[in-house]
Structure 1
Amino acid sequence: MRQLLSFTVPALAALIVALPVSAQTIESSGGKLTATVITEGLSHPWSLGFLPDGRMLVTERSGQLRIVDKGVLGAPISGVPNVYNEGQGGLLDIAIAPDFATSGQIYLTFSERAADAGLQRGQGTAVLSAKLVLDGDSGQLDDQKVIFRMNKFTTTNRHFGSRVVIGADGNLFVTLGERGEQDRAQDVSDLAGAVVRITPDGSVPADNPKLEGWAPELWSKGHRNPQGAAVRPDGQLFTVEHGARGGDELNNPQPGRNYGWPVITYGVDYSGVSIGEGTEKTGMEQPLFYWDPSISPSGLVFYEADLIPGWKGDLLTGGLSGQVLVHLKMDGDTVVTEERLFQGELGRVRDVRVGPDGAIYVLTDEDNGRLIRVAPEGE
């Protein structure tokens, strides 16, 4: 586990080339990188996915799913579920099935109202499976089915998570926040504060952890609010999650393990009061890396493209409060260095993806959210 073994791009402001707002260039360990605005006018965009034909799908927290084609926003896709769009809730992550070209299959995570779930009160995180039928610059969702929902809805409006990623075996990992109710992360009968693993139809994989008292969907527990998830080519899952005041974490969640929140943490409460029992406890896992002070990491991806060859196998994440794109140099499971890019220049970075062209694409979570392409200068 490493703390901030970091180097921030020196004198960053001085390295920004005087270009229009739509394009900025900095020096980095991967050479000169230019950030170019592809489109704007998105309402708090949350997640990005690439279609086989090169177009992109973007979720907006208020409940719209949009196609972006060469920088042009399409009309909202119909058939998206009703979402609880308050606080940190709304339409969240998207995952596009590997066989999308033939199946049209996508998965969405969202915060669901109790009334829409047939429950009495509150809201919780859910996963929708659907078939996307494209029609020009828009389309519709068919065969919608909620394949998963939290087993306990509550009335708080925060810490929904939530990312969904497809594992090497085709099963789904879904990250779930503890809904701002800390003790739920240690209740192994509760799906809050956890990573869960389900099949594409929502059933429980036969090889999930089978621990006494654990809900069958659980993969790992003791998470606060994981808002980034990525699967390495070898099938290993990595996540980033928000701490409180400090203590943001990078983890490699293993089946049946407990990652400590709120018993152990490297952060403190927003009031400055300590949380839990310290930073270590037997039976609880240490993060691979942590941030103090917080950057509020969101979005996570392994860079496996050739456009920036020196970054192959490394991790990229965004920072919301940090307003930064972060490059984590990896040596196996070890973070060697942290490199902060475009700090304070892009806005609140909500999602980070690598496109089929090898460029890095980020979404900024704002009223006028932007889709930004980051690539070597001239590419």
Structure 2
Amino acid sequence: MREYALTFVIAVAVTYLLTPLVRRVAVAFGAVPPVRERDVHTEPVPRLGGVAMFFGVAAALLISYRLPHLSEVFLGPTWQGLLLAGAVITVVGIVDDRWGLDPLPKLAGQVAAAGILVWKGVQLLWLPLPGMTLVLGPELGTVLSVLLIVVTINAVNFADGLDGLAAGIVAISAFAFFAYYYVIAVDQGFDRQTYPAMIAVILAGVCVGFLLHNFHPARIFMGDTGAMLIGLLLASITITVTGQFDANTARELSTGGFFDSGLVVYLPIVLPLLVLALPFLDLLLAVVRRTLAGQSPVAPDRKHLHHRMLELGHSHPRAVLLMYLWAAIIAFAAVTLSVFNTPYLVLTVTALVALCAVLLVTWPRLRRMRARRRRALGQSTDETDIKYK
């Protein structure tokens, strides 16, 4: 655990210290695009923050390579593939943040990075199906792995719409996944030093380090450079976990627990998808919404989940914090259900927290309704009510 903590601190420190330098470079490089109609900020803000995040990942990986216990993780070529794929996606992001890329060239870059990861061993080995486990061959495993990586990259990119939103949600997801794997490893006697746990710690570290500069009011954006990079890391964690649990082990872990109901049987692969529920939901809703409107699925708009929070009347920071809360509810409820045999207690607490979150989300609308009702009755409204007219 101490080596994980050191790795986390390194990722935070390197990212935090490099971000101001990257900001100055972005300004000099011209990566300060004008404010677009769909943007929620009113002043141009430099991008390319993902460059600092990439160097934070690289530094944490290279220093972890020299640590006694974590060095065992580097016996295979997977970490080299992650660095190379991260470099490719970072270059694609830099080009897009500076000059703009059409969807197809950007997609080609994402597929290339995903292909590098798969080539270096990041590949789905099996999938849970009702009543059976489907062991994937090399061809099918490659196709599904590339597809999952590309979808995850774009899900995180779609979520990057408010100051600190993407970095915070991904950090919460990474912490939740690390907690899940570490508790399971301790309980089942598995090796605690593994690739997915280490990448989860590094990912959480670079997100926290960048978030210190990116929370509202943001001094720099991660841009597509950062959003695609952390999406790549998340996909890497999700896929490589199938190499830590074989199908039989996954079945044993789920036996006797809440998820033995048949709805979710194989937690090792399902949990990473649950902790990414918000970005995936936003991506799915955007694709459906734009397709039904006769638009391209990648056409930009102002109807993402975070935009709707602002429309309800929430301030920028409060909207982001509420999105954090929902991400934490989903992620840590899934983790708690997966490692403790008290499902009804967990579900009760989760339901109460979720109810509070719903009330917080709808509070501005409730205040406006209350103010209108008081005005209709001829009663005076206080200053707080007036603000919500």
TM-score, normalized by length of structure 1? Answer: 0.25
Normalized per residue, which structure has more helix?
2
Normalized per residue, which structure has more strand?
1
Larger CA Rg, structure 1 vs 2: 2
TM-score, normalized by length of structure 2? Answer: 0.25
